[in-house]
Amino acid sequence: MGSSSTEVSTIVKNWREHPPASYSLKIHSFSQFENSSSSSDDKYQSRLFSSGRYKWYRLIVYPKGNEKDNGSGFISMYVEIDSKSLMVFTPPTEVFAEIRFFIYNKKENKYFTIQDVEVKRFNALKTVWGLQQILPCDTFSNPENGYIFEGGQCEFGVDVIVSLPLTNWEVLSYTEKFSNSKFSWAIKNFSELKENVLTSKSFSMAGKKWFLKLYPKGDSRADGKFLSIFLCLDDCDKPKDDEKISVQANFRVLDKHFFLLAVNFWYNEQQLGGGWFEFLSLPELPKVYLDKEDALKVEIEFKAVSATKYSPII
């Protein structure tokens, strides 16, 4: 069985009330405009105009169509960039832009617009982009259609929407290999603890400082029935506004029963800790999870930590 493909057109035609924003060419006598263009390769080149930080060379109109570009019998329109503006920067730059052409219609009191929705790349090798078949000449020149009005007047225009260089970006990466991915913490004489909150010593992982926070009598949000434990980011590595860090890790209790829970958490400026309110049942803790020396040994093993490079820096 053979296969076939249908070419999808990227040409979009529309009507709009708003006039062109980049350049307008109004003509008082289209017949004279046609005649005068015959002495300049059948085209008219407008004055220079600018868009963005670049000086565009000209709006080019072929009132009888550009025969060399398969535009015979149609209004053809192009825009050409001044190659000198490409040489302002070192190395010579490229310009990406959307181009939308306009023809005013008095009868509709709107602008017929047509564009190739693909962004065009202007460079030293390609300084001209346009459309060779914008509107049939017969359709345009018939006064009943509204493009020619008040004794031969008409208007052409163009919008050149320059795509600015990319300045807002971020690159998200993950550290998944660590020289030592584990941190262990032994809390001795656990049954005799009077403190409500304990913090471990700080440790480094993926270029940041961390510590564990443990509630031996349970966090108040866990109704005092469970041991609560959290992995916290040190204040010195606190994320800036709108920054965030992803951590994937496993919490373990090192005992003969081996208890494990995984954490997958995003840290940000307001949230510097992630973990479990209901980590271990407090009633079962002395019977199951404390060793002979009345010590609770917990361990966290890091699986992945994210890092983000971004611009602009806020």
Cα(194)–Cα(151) distance, integer angstroms: 98
| C-alpha distances in Å from residue 124, one per residue of 94, 169, 231, 247 | 8, 28, 56, 48
Whether 205 and 301 have beta carbons less than 8 Å apart is answered as: no
| Other CB atoms within 10 A of residue 214 CB | 22
pLDDT at 167: 85
Give which of 300, 215, 234 is closest to 263, Cα–Cα.
Answer: 300
Cα(93)–Cα(301) distance, integer angstroms: 49
Hunting for tokens 């004055």 — which residue is that?
47
Whether 246 and 231 have beta carbons less than 8 Å apart is answered as: no
What pTM does this model have? 0.66
Q: Where in the chain is the domain with CATH 2.60.210.10?
A: 11-163, 170-311
Question: What are the E-state strand segments in 137-286?
Answer: 154-163, 169-175, 182-187, 198-199, 203-205, 208-215, 226-233, 244-253, 259-268, 273-281
| C-alpha distances in Å from residue 210, one per residue of 215, 221, 231, 233 | 17, 23, 7, 5
One pLDDT digit (tens) per residue for the chain, 314 residues: 444 445 567 899 999 999 999 999 999 999 999 999 988 899 999 998 988 766 677 899 999 999 999 999 999 999 998 877 776 655 557 888 999 999 999 999 999 999 999 999 988 889 999 999 999 999 999 999 999 999 999 999 999 998 877 788 999 999 999 999 999 999 999 888 888 899 999 999 999 999 999 988 877 776 778 888 999 999 899 888 888 999 999 988 876 556 678 888 999 888 888 888 888 888 888 878 888 888 899 999 999 999 998 887 65
Beta bridge partners of 160: 99
| Other CB atoms within 10 A of residue 134 CB | 25
pLDDT at 69: 94
Cα(298)–Cα(224) distance, integer angstroms: 19
117's enclosing H/E stretch is: none
Q: What is the pLDDT of residues 161-176, one digit of tens each?
A: 988 777 889 999 999 9
Q: What is the pLDDT of residues 10-23, one digit of tens each?
A: 899 999 999 999 99
Give which of 176, 242, 228, 239 is closest to 205, Cα–Cα.
Answer: 176
Give which of 259, 302, 254 is closest to 280, Cα–Cα.
Answer: 259
| C-alpha distances in Å from residue 312, one per residue of 7, 89, 170, 235, 245 | 40, 22, 9, 23, 18
pLDDT at 1: 44
* DSSP tag of 7: P
pLDDT at 314: 58
| C-alpha distances in Å from residue 28, one per residue of 104, 148, 149, 151, 158 | 13, 10, 9, 8, 18
Whether 46 and 60 have beta carbons less than 8 Å apart is answered as: yes
Report the topology of domain 11-163.
2.60.210
pLDDT at 312: 78
pLDDT at 88: 62
Which structure tokens are listed for 273?
């800790």
Whether 278 and 226 have beta carbons less than 8 Å apart is answered as: yes
Name the architecture of domain 170-311: Sandwich (2.60)
What is the residue type of 269?
E
